[in-house]
Amino acid sequence: MNEQIRKIDIFDTTLRDGEQAPRIKLNAAEKLQIAMQLKRLNVDVIEAGFPISSQGDFDSVREISSRLTGIKVAALARALDADIRRAWEALEPAEKPRIHTFISTSDIHIKYQMMKDREQVKEMAKKAVMLARSLCDEIEFSTMDATRSDVDFLLEVLAIAVKEGATILNIPDTVGYSVPAEYGRLIRTIRDEICTDNNVIISVHCHNDLGLAVANSIEAILNGATQVECSVNGIGERAGNAALEEVAMILDTRCDMFKAKTALELSELARTSSLVSTLTGYPIQPNKAIVGRNAFAHESGIHQDGILKERTTYEIMDPSKLGFHESKIVLGKHSGRHAFIDRLQKLGFSLSDEQLGKAFILFKELADRKGEINDKDLEAIVSGQIVQPKELFHLNYYQVMSGNNLRPTATVGIKKGGKSLDGAAWGDGPIDAAYRAIDSITGIKTKLTSYSIDAVTGGKDALGEVSIVLEINGLSVVGRGVSTDVIEASIKAYINALNKGIEMIPGLVKD
């Protein structure tokens, strides 16, 4: 007789914990794009944000709650009245809302971070779940730093949460401290001691500080967990979270061993990974399991020979099952809008007519300079159009002079409304000179805190994507620019950041 296959729920925290990764700052439009793709992927729960943390997070959670139907939307809240009420205010439009409240249970957190005692923690947990349950039908309760907590105390707190109405208990390995055998024992203990009622779900949220997030999550499944909290590409605090795509494909590939599967639409994994990478600016390492560009690449002659004879000799997964495939339509300067839009839809992008128009112009310009355009080129082009800020400043032209015996200088022309403004400056290099020239035009004081350039594609005509972080009035603003010319990409990134800053900081520029 075949054993019953258990369903494992996927609680996606890309938009909450994933966004907490250093230098990631997604705005409401970017978050909505990712949320829509997560729905296509068929995750069970989307943790849309932490509403009390900022107005932007609140707005994003509320927008996602309003726009997405047929999927559970969760919002995070500390075990505080204000947090819980704010979370519910953001979630209220959701068809299937879930309040996710948490409190620390390890002595090190209780003493040094919370500055409370165990009895106070139990009382806070009780009141938090009670309030959350009075507002929302579905409550998830998390014990932060559970794996460094006294087990008996941890069980006490979990029992209180269940008594007050929590039906999902999340056991986080917050600092990635646990190892699989140890974590599995803890989950089994909680299952046997607390979750005797089948209506109480055990969830796990593992961090990757020791590189064990996925292994711990899988071990937890073996010991009774039925929900895994993870993020696309494993992004998140410090070393990140358990990677969604790895958890999903381990269960799918080795269902014979685990007797458990997710309900994910696996063919959407590739485009989901790519979209998150594009919008967060976090590149996927080439050898990343499942979604790295080398995951289904073969260079060794022996491997190539085997693959050509029978794919399964060196591939345990079918790449087409995950949504990886070579485009049959070659996009170039002779391509029309129909082919262009079709490819964007297949890549998972949903653009307005105005955004499509701008993206198509950029596509044509690039095709004239580069020739054949591939999917990575398109992603780079479109990423800037999804959330393009209102353009107070627009690049008109630039000219730079540089050499080993020449002081780098730059002249930049910018359009502001209907006016054309020009500036010139010298600097430590052509890019620095261009930035100084722009500063002389705008009058905005900025500090460049991060600059990175990545070749989106290979070859001599590679498309370069520049990502920068500017500090403007104490606020960090991310800018992106794409071009086959790195100086042009750098200037576009700088102007993109300035335009975002103007939207975010009222009165930054006087009319």
Whether 205 and 241 have beta carbons less than 8 Å apart is answered as yes
Instruction: Give me the count of residues in the chain.
Output: 511
Strands 419-426 and 406-416: antiparallel
User: What is the arithmetic mean of pLDDT over 28-45?
Assistant: 96
Residue 385 has pLDDT above 70, yes or no: no
Secondary structure element (H or E) that encloses residue 396, with its range: strand 393-403
Residue 274 has pLDDT above 70, yes or no: yes
Which of 143-157, 318-332, 447-461, 482-496 bottoms out in mean pLDDT, i.e. has the lowest? 318-332
Residue 285 lies in a domain: no
Q: HEC string of 248-285?
A: HHHHHHCHHHHCEECCCCHHHHHHHHHHHHHHHCCCCC
Whether 422 and 433 have beta carbons less than 8 Å apart is answered as no
Question: Strand order of the sheet with strand 393-403?
Answer: 393-403, 406-416, 419-426
pLDDT of residue 477: 82
215 and 85 in one domain? Answer: yes
CB proximity list for 226: less than 8 A, separation 6 or greater = 6, 7, 8, 9, 201, 202, 203
219 and 306 in one domain? Answer: no
pLDDT of residue 373: 73
273 and 178 in one domain? Answer: yes
3 state DSSP class of 387: coil
Q: HEC string of 117-162?
A: CHHHHHHHHHHHHHHHHHHCCCEEEEEECHHHCCHHHHHHHHHHHH
Whether 98 and 138 have beta carbons less than 8 Å apart is answered as yes
Greatest pairwise CA separation for the chain in angstroms: 81
**Dihedral angle sign, alpha carbons of residues 211, 212, 218, 220:** negative
Q: Tell me the residue range of the domain where 318 lies.
A: 295-325
Is the model more confident about 470 or about 148?
A: 148
pLDDT of residue 371: 64
pLDDT of residue 121: 98
pLDDT of residue 469: 87
**Dihedral angle sign, alpha carbons of residues 266, 267, 269, 272:** negative
Burial of 403 (0-12, 13-18, 19+ CB in 10 A): exposed
Residue 287 lies in a domain: no
Examine the fold and report which residue of 386, 403, 425 is the final residue of a domain before the chain moves on.
386
Write the CATH number for 403: 3.30.160.270
Residue 382 has pLDDT above 90, yes or no: no
What six digits make up the tokens of 378? 């398109």
333 and 433 in one domain? Answer: no
Residue 286 lies in a domain: no
From the CA atom positions of the chain, what is the Rg in Å? 25
312 and 225 in one domain? Answer: no
Residue 1 lies in a domain: no
Which of 53-57, 366-370, 474-478 bottoms out in mean pLDDT, i.e. has the lowest? 366-370
380 and 305 in one domain? Answer: no
Residue 60 lies in a domain: yes
Examine the fold and report which residue of 280, 311, 334 is the final residue of a domain before the chain moves on.
280
CB proximity list for 29: less than 8 A, separation 6 or greater = 386, 387
276 and 201 in one domain? Answer: yes
Residue 510 lies in a domain: no
pLDDT of residue 301: 45
Expressed in angstroms, the distance from the first to the final Cα of the chain is 76
pLDDT of residue 296: 72
Examine the fold and report which residue of 222, 247, 280 is the final residue of a domain before the chain moves on.
280
pLDDT of residue 307: 60
Which of 58-72, 153-167, 442-456 bottoms out in mean pLDDT, i.e. has the lowest? 442-456
Q: What are phi and psi of 218, to 5 degrees?
A: -65, -40
User: What is the arithmetic mean of pLDDT over 211-222?
Assistant: 98
User: What is the arithmetic mean of pLDDT over 84-95?
Assistant: 98
221 and 249 in one domain? Answer: yes
Which of 267-276, 438-447, 450-459 bottoms out in mean pLDDT, i.e. has the lowest? 450-459
What percent of the chain has pLDDT above 90?
63
Strands 393-403 and 227-230: unpaired
413 and 342 in one domain? Answer: no
b or e along 59-89 (b: 16 or more beta carbons within 10 Å of the residue's beta carbon)?
bbbbbbbeebeebbbbbbbbbbeebbbbbbb
359 and 226 in one domain? Answer: no
Strands 96-104 and 139-144: parallel
Q: HEC string of 60-117?
A: HHHHHHHHCCCCEEEEEEECCHHHHHHHHHHHCCCCEEEEEEEEECCHHHHHHHHCCC
Residue 494 lies in a domain: yes
pLDDT of residue 312: 77
Domains in the chain: how many in total?
4
Residue 289 lies in a domain: no
304 and 228 in one domain? Answer: no
Write the CATH number for 229: 3.20.20.70
CA distances from 430 to 142, 333, 397, 436 (A): 51, 30, 14, 10
380 and 485 in one domain? Answer: no
- What are 120-169's pLDDT values in tens digits? 999 999 999 999 999 999 999 999 999 999 999 999 999 999 999 999 99
Phi-psi region of 371 (alpha: psi -120 to 50; beta: other; left: phi over 0): left
- What are 406-432's pLDDT values in tens digits? 899 999 999 987 889 999 999 999 999
